[in-house]
Amino acid sequence: MGYNYKIILQYEGTRYHGWQKQGNTENTIQGRLEKVLERLNGSPVEVYGSGRTDAGVHAAGQVANFHLAKEHEPEVVKRYLNQYLPEDISVLKAGRVTERFHSRLNAIEKIYRYQIETGEKRDVFGRRMQYALGEPLDIRAMQTAAGFLCGTHDYKSFCGNPKIKKSTVRTVRHITIQQEQKNSLVVLDFVGNGFLQQMVRILTGTLIEVGQRKRLPQEMMRILEARDRRQAGFTAPAEGLCLMKVRY
């Protein structure tokens, strides 16, 4: 198996087809990492991410691990990756970990952030990481609805994969929704033990509809019990979502 390394990385997902490598494109985060590591290793390397971010989704604290045939100083690995990776992917930390460590299987909690610009125009510098909604939201109603969505539930109504066979039960510990006074940016933070495909974006889309007064906060329980994707709100666009942190 070789030597197991763990890295923490950040990326702006705007121009990538998501985390997971695909046969029809090399333009994925996993694909870019593996290409550079193969050069360092002298043979193919498989990189395991803590989760598969969708096309256009960003990460400030994605975690990944991989095995190298020879032992290298972690700082050497980090420097090599940063030298050859594109400018919109950066490795923040690198370290040796035990043979049994797996970035996805050992993760116990993830934190995602979704940013919504409710003003007439997005901030020039943050525009690629915000959803340009361009209309005010009822924050209190959204906060009430978020309370119903927290806890341990079957989130099948909030899953983007209708054919999922595995359990759709997850625990969402917190959903915080904040808008600073005199600021048009609304920030939603989701903390949970794991999230289904597109789950955070569908939760966000549903909460936005509550904020637009298209739905009542009390509807959230009915949507959860329905276990039917059609009952939940729209899937919020990818550009507003960022994986902030993974805890082990």
Give tens-digit pLDDT for 32-53: 999 999 999 999 999 999 999 9
Q: Which domain holds residue 10?
A: 3-96
Both 116 and 212 in one domain: the answer is yes
CB 34 within 8 A of CB 49: no
**Least confident among 64-73, 120-129, 163-172, 197-206:** 120-129
Domain co-membership, 22 together with 143: no
| pLDDT of amino acid 223 | 98
Instruction: Check: CB of residue 91 under 8 Å from CB of residue 83.
Output: no
β-strand 185-192 against 109-117: which pairing, if any?
antiparallel
- Same domain? 145 vs 189: yes
**Active-site residue among 54, 123, 138, 154?**
54
Percent of the chain with pLDDT over 90: 92
- In three-state secondary structure terms, 128 is helix
Other CB atoms within 10 Å distance of the CB of residue 107: 16
| CA Rg value for the chain | 19
Clarify whether residues 65 and 117 are in a common domain: no
Please indicate, yes or no, whether residues 129 and 218 belong to a single structural domain of this protein.
yes
Q: What is the CATH number of the domain that holds 240?
A: 3.30.70.660
Give just the sign of the alpha carbon dihedral 65, 70, 71, 72: negative
Asked if the model's pLDDT at residue 181 lies above 80, the reply is no
Greater pLDDT, 126 or 137:
137
Active site residue 54: yes
Residues above pLDDT 70, as percent of the chain = 100
> Dihedral sign, CA of 126, 132, 137, 139?
negative
Domain co-membership, 22 together with 82: yes
* Same-domain pairing of 156 and 237: yes
Is 104 a domain residue? Answer: no
23, pLDDT greater than 80: no
1, pLDDT greater than 80 = no
Q: Which whole-number Å values give the CA distances from 93 to 38, 39, 114, 133, in the listed order? A: 19, 20, 24, 35
What is the spatial distance between Cα 4 and Cα 147, in angstroms, rounded to a whole number? 40
Domain boundary pick from 96, 117, 143: 96
Q: Do 85 and 119 fall within a single domain?
A: no
Task: Work out the average pLDDT over 114-135.
Answer: 93
Domain count of the chain? 2
Q: Residues 14, 56: contact at Cβ < 8 Å?
A: yes
Residue 102 within any structural domain of the chain: no
CATH of the domain at 38: 3.30.70.580
**One domain for residues 22 and 91:** yes
